[in-house]
Amino acid sequence: SNMPTAITEPHIMNQTQVASSRPRHYTVNMLITVNAKDFFDKFAGVDEQTIIDILTRRSCEQRREIAFEYERFAKKDLVSALKGALSGSLEALILGLMKSTAQYDASELKASMKGLGTDEETLIEIVCSRNNEELAEIKRVYRDSESLFKKDLEKDVAGDTSGNFAKLLLALVQTRRDEPSNVVDYEKIDEDARALYEAGVKRKGTDVVTWIEIMSQRSVPHLQKVFERYKSYSPYDMKESIRKEVKGDLEKSFLTLVECFENRQLYFASRLNEAMKSKGAKEKVVTRIIVSRCEVDLIKIRTEFKKHFKRSLYQTITEHTKGDYQKALLSLCGGDD
Ligand SMILES: [Ca+2]
Distance of CA 116 to the CA centre of its chain: 24
Helices and strands in the chain: count of H runs, count of E runs: 20, 0
Domain assignment present for residue 152? The answer is no
Q: If you measure from the C-alpha of residue 251 to the centroid of ligand 1, how many angstroms do you get, rounded to a whole number?
A: 13
The answer to the question of residue 153 being in a domain is no
Question: Residue 280 belongs to a domain with what CATH number?
Answer: 1.10.220.10
Secondary structure of residue 128 in the 3-state scheme? helix
Residue 268 inside a domain? The answer is yes
Place 144 in a pLDDT band, splitting at 50, 70 and 90: confident
DSSP class of residue 233? Answer: T
pLDDT in tens, 145-198: 766 667 899 999 999 999 999 999 999 999 999 999 999 999 999 999 999 999
CATH for 38 = 1.10.220
Last residue of a domain, one of 85, 112, 136: 85
State which of 85, 110, 139 marks the end of a domain.
Answer: 85
Distance between CA atoms of residues 259 and 276, nearest Å: 19
The CA 170 to ligand 1 mean position distance, Å, reads 23
Q: How far is ligand 1, taken at its centre, from the CA of residue 241, in Å?
A: 9
Whether residue 212 is contained in a domain is answered as no
Is the pLDDT score of 15 beyond 80? no
If pLDDT is split at 50, 70 and 90, which confidence band does 273 have? very high
Segment 82-103, tens digit of pLDDT = 998 899 999 999 999 999 999 9
What b/e sequence results for 110-142 when a residue is b if at least 16 CB atoms lie within 10 Å of its CB, and e otherwise?
eebbeeeebbbbbbbbbbbbbebebbebbbebb
CA of 240 to the centre of ligand 1 (A): 12
pLDDT-based confidence at 25, cuts 50/70/90? very low
Cα of 225 from ligand 1 centre, angstroms: 22
Q: Please indicate, yes or no, if residue 50 is contained in any of the structural domains.
A: yes
23 three-class SS: coil
Question: Which of 33, 59, 85 is the last residue in one of the domains?
Answer: 85
Distance 201 CA to ligand 1 centre (A): 4
Q: For residue 227, tell me if it sits in a domain.
A: no
Domain region containing 320: 264-333
Q: What percent of the chain has pLDDT over 90?
A: 72
Give a yes or no: residue 146 inside a domain.
no
Tell me if the bond preceding 235 is cis, omega within 30° of 0. no
- 172 Cα: distance to centroid of ligand 1 (angstroms): 23
Q: Is the pLDDT of residue 19 over 50?
A: no
d(CA 96, CA 103): 9
Residue 11 pLDDT more than 70?
no
What's the domain count of the chain? 2
The 8 Å CB, 24+ separation contacts for 62-67 are 62/28, 62/30, 62/32, 63/97, 63/98, 64/98, 65/32, 66/32, 66/35, 66/36, 66/39, 67/98
**What number of CA atoms fall less than 13 Å from residue 274's CA on the CB side?**
8
Residue 67 covered by a domain: yes
